[in-house]
Amino acid sequence: MAKILLISLSVLLAACSEPAPKSVGSDVDEHGCKASAGYQWCGKTQQCERPWELAKKHDFENSQSQFTTFCAKAE
């Protein structure tokens, strides 16, 4: 009986010592963009954008470098 209690207590303590996982969508950056949903801040549009959607809309290559170049431009 004591052995079962000791095992149960060990399992309970191990479960309590692990950090709680982050909630989905809790990865908001300083602009309010949610990276887990694919959003990044774009200075040119002054809003959170999905790079692949912005590339299609403005006809540039869907790459991080092209997104960065496009979003760095001032209007």
Look up residue 56 and give its amino acid: K
Q: What's the pTM value of the predicted model, to 2 decimals? A: 0.64
**pLDDT score at 75:** 55
Two tokens at 22? Answer: 């982050």
Q: What is the pLDDT of residue 1?
A: 74
The confidence score (pLDDT) of residue 27 equals: 87
Residue 16 φ then ψ, to 5°: -80, -20
**In which residue ranges of the chain is pLDDT below 50?**
none
pLDDT of residue 28: 94
The reported pLDDT for the residue numbered 32 is 95
Beta strands, E only, the chain: 40-42, 47-49
